[in-house]
Amino acid sequence: MFQMSYNSAGFLIFFGAFLLLYVLMPRVWLRQAVILAGNIVFYLFAGGKSLLAVLFATTVVVYAVSVLMGKVYEGFEAETAEMKPKERMQILPGYRKKAVRYLIAGIVIVLGILLYGKIGRLAGLPEVVSFDGLRRRGMMAVLVPVGVSYYTFSAVGYLLDVYWRKAKAERNYFLLLISMTYFPIIVQGPISRYDRLMKQMKELPGFSYERVTLGLQRMVWGLFKKLVIADRLSMYTGTIFADIGSYAGVEVILAVAANVMHIYMDFSGCMDIVIGAAEAMGVTLDENFRQPFFSKGAAEFWRRWHITLGTWFKDYVYMPIATSKGMMKKTAELKKSRGKRISSFAQTAIPLIVVWVLTGLWHGTGPDYLIWGLYWGVLIIVESTFAPEFRKVTEFFRVDPESYGHRLFQMVRTFVYFAIGRMITALGNAGSFVTIMRSITREARPWVLFDGTILGYGIDAQDMGVLLIAIAVVWIVSILQTKMNVREALAKQPLVLRWIVYLAGIIAVVVFGIYGPGYTASAFVYGAF
């Protein structure tokens, strides 16, 4: 089958041809038509085949449900146009009751497809990508449409936004169709807000040299992170994790650290590619990463790592539960009976546990992901509940919270938090963390760092050199990004210097990129969720 991972040669050829056709289109509607054609071609080659029908059916359901809810609220607007907000609020529940029926039907259908796949995986059924495959296996398999975890979340978010009247229902089906099937975001996100995306689709701008080069520049950066760093790191981690019982101490600690770097470079690299591809078309997607390892703690980390997933859970799960009438009432009662501290603990902890159990299950259905979700939930709850005590400790030791040493400590701690999380899921079973810890503590083996042994574990001296330099480049760019817009600064440089940098990036990807067996670029990790 033709490869269509965002880092594959197949995708780059497809995207080159697509972009050429796209920028030649003189009218918005023609550009929209090219996007739709691109979406269909991409989905077919990405493994969609007969499942394209499932995706299209989902767009029809989302359209119908959102428009029906929109009509209900038109009645509300007409009836309450002259009223004050408080009076309107008394009328609103009646309309909400009508709208909620549509909402539930829509969510059951859209989320049902995702849950069906999740439950099927949990039951150990194999995945198939076509109805034929399902028939051949006597229905003992699950159909999992490409990107279902991502577009389902966007679709549910859009339906909820319309229900809460935070977004208006779009009447133009074509706009919803091209946004929901938009090929840059379909496989791995970012989880986009369809109302914002549709607004951009309505006004797709024409060709701009600056925009196209900026977009392509970002794509090269993403390819660099993925092919030069992530895929090289995975050769080492793959060797160690495949036979964890044979390795110990430093070897395994390095594998865990490399695994953390790997997932960051892999996922954020993919996001650079897709955000860059959209940028070349004049579409601005939401950012998914903001130098997450510079975070001060666990909560901040999740505001900077997979941002669109965290925001989704905040807006559609955490806030609705935490600010619901029932929750407000219960916590007010608790405040009277048990005091402020306990009530705010309950108000924070209950919705956070729900969020993190769901976040765990979104990533995977096994017990390892459930433990992983609870691990992060508890970490964030402890961090926020005991914030006053932590502040007192730093004050007691007269630590300047802004000092370089303290900031460095916080960054290392964030890295360790994340590394523990990776250890919980790295081996794909419930005992993953314990197995890895046993290997780490069995023997220290510090000598492997100095006698060249380490260079026999999937990577050689040249790979190690490339890795160290490439990671240092990403590190320096990340530091610069906290102080300025690096891409704009680069774009302002003289033509010759600018192109030397661009060409250096392209050459680095071509020369130092890891092209796996048969030169098939390896798939991105987050596409599997």
Q: How many other CB atoms sit within 10 Å of the CB of residue 380?
A: 23
Q: From the list 347, 359, 365, 414, which residue makes contact with other proteins (rule: CB under 8 A)?
A: 347
Q: What residues form DSSP beta bridges with 301?
A: none
Question: x/- contact string, 452-491, with other proteins (CB under 8 A)?
Answer: ----------------------------------------
Give the C-alpha separation, 192 to 241, whole Å.
34
Helices (H) and strands (E) in the chain, counts: 24, 2
Query: Which residues have a Cβ under 8 Å from the Cβ of 468 and sit 6 or more positions away?
Result: none
Piece in contact with other proteins (CB under 8 A), picked from 109-117, 162-170, 417-425, 496-504: 162-170
Q: Is 297 in the site for other proteins (CB under 8 A)?
A: no
Ordered alpha helix ranges (H), 123-249: 131-136, 148-163, 173-180, 183-186, 194-202, 209-223, 231-242
- Least separation in angstroms between residue 528's CB and other proteins is 29
- Least separation in angstroms between residue 39's CB and other proteins is 31
- Least separation in angstroms between residue 140's CB and other proteins is 42
Q: Is 314 in the site for other proteins (CB under 8 A)?
A: yes
- Least separation in angstroms between residue 347's CB and other proteins is 6
* 50 versus 385: smaller Cβ distance to other proteins: 385
Asked if residues 418 and 267 have their Cβ atoms less than 8 Å apart, the reply is no
Asked if residues 191 and 309 have their Cβ atoms less than 8 Å apart, the reply is yes
- Least separation in angstroms between residue 386's CB and other proteins is 13
Q: Look at the block and give the residue holding tokens 């390795």.
A: 247
Q: Is 384 in the site for other proteins (CB under 8 A)?
A: yes
**Size (the chain), residues:** 529
Q: From the list 328, 489, 501, 504, which residue makes contact with other proteins (rule: CB under 8 A)?
A: 328
Query: Which residues have a Cβ under 8 Å from the Cβ of 445 and sit 6 or more positions away?
Result: 248, 249, 250, 251
Q: Is 331 in the site for other proteins (CB under 8 A)?
A: yes
Whole-number Cα distances in Å, 510 to 32, 302, 473, 515: 32, 33, 17, 9
Question: x/- contact string, 386-405, with other proteins (CB under 8 A)?
Answer: -----x--------------
Give the C-alpha separation, 318 to 158, whole Å.
16
Q: Is 334 in the site for other proteins (CB under 8 A)?
A: no
Piece in contact with other proteins (CB under 8 A), picked from 16-24, 146-154, 192-200, 315-323: 315-323
Query: 3-class SS at 130?
Result: coil
- Least separation in angstroms between residue 314's CB and other proteins is 5
Count CA atoms within 13 Å of residue 500 on its CB side. Answer: 5
Number of residues that bind other proteins (CB under 8 A): 26
Residues within the interface to other proteins (CB under 8 A): 84-86, 89, 92, 164-166, 299, 303, 314, 318-320, 322-323, 325, 328, 331-332, 335, 344, 347-348, 384, 391
